[in-house]
Structure 1
């Protein structure tokens, strides 16, 4: 059973407000005590209530003084690094959410453009009804894939050339034939690289 969401507004009823204050105050002190024991850190609480002119402190006045002394010993520069008001906290959350949204939009757009590209290749679409932004994005995607293909070929050829260098018994003609064999597989490599962009996060292939 889920807990009822608390309405964070001022409680106008005096009796209910005092009861809530007592429960929350005890809960706060309990949590501070737990983090002190479990994590071995210094912590304190100073609580002022309307009905008591003297503050309630935890764990004791000497314990509070010890924590406050450590706080006063920290330079203003170091204090500023850890300060975070509610406005700053929300601003950071918004910036982070916006970055995640941009990343997600870019991923979705890349999948859309990849699907369009394969539809054109399969003659399911024609360029007459295409938007210029789609054509530009398809062109950029093709350039990226061609660059991947060139890098893949370069790495593959470099890995195959090394055995020929190490094994000096191979003839030059065998080496040339070996390289030509890679060149004939460019189309297959291209299809492999282009298909990579049609695989979603679950590993399922998106059919054009």
Structure 2
């Protein structure tokens, strides 16, 4: 059974606020696994309206030590992780843009326009993308055949798809200018 989606809004009821805080704090404090799994130094400080002292995780002395270590770290080192994450995002966007450019070139070629502006590396990339799509189509066709065979078996009928030729399959494939992948796909 799935859980009901929690609506994030201020809780007016004080007792439900306290109960929710207790549960969430307990769950949050169990997040020590990230230390073990990723070998990352982590800590947390959580203030409660009902306590004079904050909760610290893993413990107060470790939190103090990590904060001092962070303060003593050169600013360049502190910002290094943020820069690396941004570079990762940029690389992902560049790769997506590159694929869109290749798709557009393919669609232009299909529409009858020449491939004069493309470099050899562009053509190799186009080939790789076409081969990737063909593998994807072959996998889809195989799964459709298996599904159809299962349905026919359940119905007690003879399989209707035995030896489809590639032309029938290619007619089902949308090869048009409008089949350019978008950011959402």
TMscore range, shorter length: 0.5 to 0.7
Choose which of 165, 170, 174 in structure 2 pairs with 1:191: 174
Gaps of 5+ in 2: 1-45
TM-score normalized with structure 1 length: 0.51
* Ranges in structure 1 where 5+ consecutive residues have no aligned partner: 1-34, 44-66, 204-208
Asked which structure has the greater RCO (Cα within 8 Å, sep 6+), the reply is 2
- Partners in 1 of 2:86 and 2:149 — Cα distance? 48
Are 2:100 and 1:111 aligned?
Answer: yes
Segment drifting more, 177-186 vs 89-98: 177-186
1:92 to 2:92 alignment:
no
Q: 1:130 aligns to what?
A: 118
Query: What do the CA deviations read for 1:11-66 (whole angstroms, capped 9, x no partner)?
Result: xxxxxxxxxxxxxxxxxxxxxxxx734485835xxxxxxxxxxxxxxxxxxxxxxx
Contact (CA 8 Å) 1:145, 1:194: kept in 2 or not? no
Cα distance in structure 1, aligned partners of 2:117 and 2:78: 47
**Match among 133, 138, 142 for residue 154 of structure 1:** 142
Q: Relative to total residues, which structure has the larger helix share, 1 or 2?
A: 1
The 2-side partners of 1:143 and 1:39 are apart by 62
1:162-204 Cα distance to aligned partner (Å, 9 max, x none): 0222233x24xxx2x43446865411343279965x142378x
How far, CA to CA, are the matches of 1:146 and 1:158 in structure 2?
18
Deviations along 1:151-170, one digit per CA (max 9) or x if unpaired, are 110111111000222233x2
Quote the RMSD (CA, aligned, Å).
Answer: 3.7
For 1:160 and 1:81, the matched residues in 2 are separated by 61
* Match for residue 132 of structure 2 among 138, 144, 151: 144
- In our comparison, the structure showing a higher alpha carbon Rg is 1
Q: Give the conservation status (yes or no) of the 8 Å contact 2:106–2:126.
A: yes
Q: 1:147 to 1:202 in 2, by over 3 A?
A: closer
